[in-house]
Amino acid sequence: LHGLFLATIPIAYGGLISVGIAYTLQVVAQRYAHPAHAAIILSLEAVFAALGGWLMLGETLSARGLLGCSLMLAGMLFSQLRTYIFKKK
């Protein structure tokens, strides 16, 4: 119980700042984004989390995790480039 008391500030930060404010800003920003763009950006949340973990915490991904992130990124690029290419023709 003493450990929980000592962790009050980090828990409050994680709950209020990281979750509360971040998701509020996300919802507000989605109003102004094209629906397809917002969906693609939100579907890349796992890729951004893996990249952030690597940059800030020095975490590493397994080959399976890297493959998954690569497939998600490739799918996002394909969906954007496909609409761009077909609009040009």
Distance (Å, rounded) from C-alpha 30 to C-alpha 85?
Answer: 25
pLDDT digits (tens, 9 = 90+) for 17-48: 878 888 888 889 889 988 878 877 887 788 88
Cα–Cα distances (Å) from 44 to 2, 11, 13, 64, in that order, read 38, 26, 24, 16
Q: Is the Cβ–Cβ distance between 66 and 73 less than 8 Å?
A: no
Whether the pLDDT of residue 89 is over 80: the answer is no
pLDDT digits (tens, 9 = 90+) for 41-73: 887 788 888 888 889 889 888 999 889 888 988
| Residue 50 CB coordination number (10 Å) | 19
Predicted pLDDT at 17: 80
**Helix H or strand E encompassing 14:** none
* Residue 21 C-alpha from the chain's centroid: 15
Distance (Å, rounded) from C-alpha 50 to C-alpha 1?
Answer: 32
Give the start-to-end residue ranges of the domains of the chain: 1-32, 34-89
